[in-house]
Amino acid sequence: MDRGHCYGLVGQNGVGKTTIMTRIAQKDIHNFPTHLKCVYVQHEVHRGINDGETVHSFMKTQVPNETDDDISEALRSVGFSEKMIHGPVVDLSGGWRMKLAIARAMLQRADILLLDEPTTNHLDAASVAWLAGYIRSLKNTTVMIVSHDADFMEQVVTDVIHIHDLRLTYYTDGFGNFRRRNPTLFPEDGAAAGGADQGPATEQGTDEGGKLTAADETAAPADGSAADSEANPPQAEETPSPEGGKPYGTYDFTSQPFKFPDPGKLDGIRTKRKPVLTMTGVSFRYPGAEKDTLRDINVKLTLMSRVALVGANGAGKTTLLRLLVEDLPTNPGVGEVWKHHNLRLSYVAQHSMHHLESNINNTPVGYIQDRFGFGKDKEVESKVTMKLTDEEKAIMAQRGEISEVLGRRKLGKMIEYEVLRTGRKPEDSQWFNMNDLKLQKPYVMKLVKAYDEKMAAMASGADQRPLTGAEIKKHLQDFGINEVLATGKIKNLSGGQKSRLVMAAAMWSKPHLLALDEPTNYIDRETLAALAESLKTFNGGVFLISHNAAFVEEVCDESRRHVPPPGEDCRQGQQQVTGSAANLRFSPPA
3-state secondary structure 46-90: CCCCCCCCEHHHHHHHHCCCCCHHHHHHHHHHCCCCHHHHCCEHH
d(CA 53, CA 49): 7
Question: CA distances (Å), 483 to each of 471, 475, 477, in order?
Answer: 12, 11, 8
Q: What is the pTM of this model?
A: 0.64
Out of 103-117, 152-166, 176-190, 379-393, pick the least confident. Answer: 176-190
In a domain, 443, yes or no: yes
Q: For residue 164, what are the β-bridge partners?
A: 167
In a domain, 1, yes or no: no
The pLDDT score that the predictor gives to residue 236 is 36
Residue type, 210: G
Average confidence score pLDDT of the chain? 79
Over residues 100-122, the mean pLDDT reads: 85
Helices 94-108, 125-137: inter-axial angle, 10-degree rounding: 10
Helices 469-477, 364-371: inter-axial angle, 10-degree rounding: 110
Is the pLDDT at 534 greater than 70, yes or no? yes
Is the pLDDT at 228 greater than 70, yes or no? no
Give residues with Cβ within 8 angstroms of 150, minimum separation 6.
175, 179, 186, 188, 189
In a domain, 264, yes or no: no
Q: For residue 39, what are the β-bridge partners?
A: 113
Which CATH number goes with the domain that contains 453?
2.40.50.40
Which CATH number goes with the domain that contains 12?
3.40.50.300
Same domain, 429 and 522: no
Query: What's the total number of domains in the chain?
Result: 3
DSSP 148-206: S-HHHHHHH-SEEEEEETTEEEEE-S-HHHHHHH-GGG-GGGTHHHHTS-------EEE
d(CA 380, CA 360): 19
**Tens-place pLDDT, residues 327-373:** 888 888 788 899 999 999 999 887 656 668 788 899 999 999 999 88
In a domain, 99, yes or no: yes
d(CA 548, CA 518): 9
Same domain, 202 and 68: yes
Report the Cα 517 to chain-centroid distance in Å. 5
One-letter-per-residue 3-state SS of 316-364: CHHHHHHHHCCCCCCCCCCCEEEECCCCCEEEECCCCHHHHCCCCCCCH
d(CA 228, CA 242): 34
Among the candidates 241, 262, 287, a domain finishes at 241
Out of 49-53, 426-430, 560-564, pick the least confident. Answer: 560-564
434: number of Cβ within 10 Å? 14
Task: Answer positive or negative: Cα dihedral of 147, 148, 152, 154.
Answer: positive
Same domain, 11 and 151: yes
Bridge pairing between strands 513-517 and 306-311: unpaired
Same domain, 21 and 92: yes
The pLDDT score that the predictor gives to residue 38 is 93
Question: CA distances (Å), 393 to each of 211, 403, 445, 448, in order?
Answer: 75, 9, 13, 15
Strands of the sheet containing 576-577, edge to edge, are 336-339, 277-284, 294-301, 576-577
324: number of Cβ within 10 Å? 24
| Angle ∠(427,433,438) on CA atoms, nearest 5 | 110
In a domain, 378, yes or no: no
**Tens-place pLDDT, residues 41-91:** 875 555 445 567 889 998 998 899 899 999 999 999 888 999 899 988 877
d(CA 123, CA 93): 10
Over residues 283-292, the mean pLDDT reads: 85
Maximum distance among all Cα pairs of the chain, rounded to whole angstroms: 91
Looking at residue 439, the DSSP 8-state letter turns out to be: T
Same domain, 431 and 517: no
Out of 263-267, 361-365, 373-377, pick the least confident. Answer: 373-377
- pLDDT: is 303 or 127 the higher one? 303
Strands of the sheet containing 430-433, edge to edge, are 402-411, 414-421, 430-433
For residue 513, report the phi and psi dihedrals to the nearest 5 degrees. -140, 130
Is the pLDDT at 411 greater than 80, yes or no? yes
Dihedral of CA atoms 330, 331, 333, 335 in degrees, nearest 10, equals -50
Do residues 495 and 521 make contact, with C-beta atoms less than 8 angstroms apart? yes
Same domain, 397 and 338: no
Same domain, 396 and 336: no
Do residues 559 and 583 make contact, with C-beta atoms less than 8 angstroms apart? no
Give residues with Cβ within 8 angstroms of 496, minimum separation 6.
13, 14, 522, 523, 524, 527
d(CA 421, CA 505): 36
- pLDDT: is 127 or 260 the higher one? 260
At residue 230, the 3 state secondary structure works out as coil
Among the candidates 404, 433, 465, a domain finishes at 465
Of 170, 109, 112, 120, the closest CA to residue 144 belongs to 112
The pLDDT score that the predictor gives to residue 195 is 40
- pLDDT: is 208 or 480 the higher one? 480
Do residues 466 and 499 make contact, with C-beta atoms less than 8 angstroms apart? no
In a domain, 236, yes or no: yes
Do residues 310 and 552 make contact, with C-beta atoms less than 8 angstroms apart? yes
Out of 129-138, 280-289, 308-317, pick the least confident. Answer: 308-317
Helices 55-62, 68-77: inter-axial angle, 10-degree rounding: 110
Same domain, 460 and 530: no
Look up the domain containing 160 and give its range: 6-241
In a domain, 538, yes or no: yes
Same domain, 49 and 173: yes
Q: For residue 212, what are the β-bridge partners?
A: 206
The pLDDT score that the predictor gives to residue 448 is 93
The pLDDT score that the predictor gives to residue 96 is 82
Give residues with Cβ within 8 angstroms of 315, minimum separation 6.
586, 587, 588, 589
Looking at residue 219, the DSSP 8-state letter turns out to be: G
Is the pLDDT at 584 greater than 60, yes or no? no
Of 167, 171, 129, the closest CA to residue 149 belongs to 129
Is the pLDDT at 288 greater than 80, yes or no? no
Of 525, 122, 519, the closest CA to residue 346 belongs to 519
Residue type, 312: A
The pLDDT score that the predictor gives to residue 577 is 43
Give residues with Cβ within 8 angstroms of 295, minimum separation 6.
283, 571, 572, 573
Among the candidates 241, 264, 298, a domain finishes at 241
Same domain, 150 and 40: yes
Same domain, 78 and 156: yes
Do residues 532 and 546 make contact, with C-beta atoms less than 8 angstroms apart? no
Over residues 476-504, the mean pLDDT reads: 89
- pLDDT: is 194 or 171 the higher one? 171
Same domain, 237 and 284: no
d(CA 120, CA 548): 8
* Percent of all residues in the chain with a pLDDT value above 90, rounded to a whole number: 35
**Tens-place pLDDT, residues 123-180:** 777 778 888 988 999 889 999 999 888 888 999 999 999 998 889 999 999 999 998 8
In a domain, 505, yes or no: no
